[in-house]
Structure 1
Amino acid sequence: MKRLAVYCGSSMGIDPAFAGTAAALGREMAARGIGLVYGGGRLGLMGVVADAVLEAGGEVHGVIPQALVNLEVAHRGLTELHLVNTMHERKALMTELTDAFVAIPGGIGTLDELFEAWSWNALGYHAKPFALLNVHGFWDGMIAFLDHVRDSGFMSPARRGQLLVADEIGEVIDKLGAAIGAAEAKMVW
């Protein structure tokens, strides 16, 4: 895996473990030579993970709509900051730039990005894996709800199984890497 898209909050949340995990994820990514693709902001967990990757010598590619740059929330110290016009363009470019996706704690924007990546995968727009890093059980309620959706007949077990879940940073990176490897092994050259 060359690059990993991290979806996360533009705020810090109330549990200090959220920021600690964002920083640790960034350091682990840099240690493994995995570049960061993210929303380009300097605030909240977004800024924490970007700063951690940069401080550890890694590369960071931010993708941000011009409207957010105008609000002065763009991170100015990145390896590369891609400016786009819309949130749709942001998600499309992030998908193009990354090999996989992981969501750490965040709000409605994080959910939007994760579910769009999953929907685009279901529609065949990409075959990239995606995961939840379940920091202190943050995603437990959503995981239970998604199981309910599957059990109610609105999602196949195979589709539900696509969303990888891990409680530890190394575990989530390893699961995403294995999923990429499995997908590459299925490709016909």
Structure 2
Amino acid sequence: MLPIELTWEPFIGPDNLPGHYKLGFAHDTSPYADRLGTIPAMFAKDVIHDANKPRDTFYIEADQMVYRKGGQHQMAGGYILAGYVHNTPSVSTFSDQVYVGASLLGIIPRRPFDRFGVMYSYYQMSPAITVGQRLRQLAGMSMGAFVNGPQTHSAILEAYYGVPIRPGLVLQPEFEYMMRPGQTSVIPNATLVGLKVLGNL
């Protein structure tokens, strides 16, 4: 694999707000099988396998502190962030991912060290996976283990609120709203809640 990444890390304004901006590319020469899977015999002559190809990945990611609060270190403030990742569709499970979010420190008065985070992520399945599953569905074959329908895309909205209890210990309630679980519309959208305990030993 040959990875190449260009990074820009500016400090903006009188408060020296740090940012991280990345543009990357990776070329993997491994011979990957295509994502069509088993094609029913009745459709085999109409489908061209695009197998034993290398895989390329392209990404652009950015995060930028938008205010400073509680010190000069890199996490002493609130950030916004976003990114896009693209993989060679014919040989990758996910062809595209887009995400956008924020990580905000001290948004509640008198709670200067609490951190609130929110993220939206969108995932696009490889079109080859979708085509292969649809053809198997038409032929009455299994589309794959735990697959309820041709898979296309899904999205997740997640949020957390981190509360420092003592130095090195953080309680973090979390919320997730999963849209199109399993990348199909067969399973209803799902809501998950949980509690994470982060300890620094």
So what's the TM-score if we normalise by structure 1? 0.24
Please identify which structure carries the higher strand content.
2
> Between Structure 1 and Structure 2, whose CA radius of gyration is higher?
2
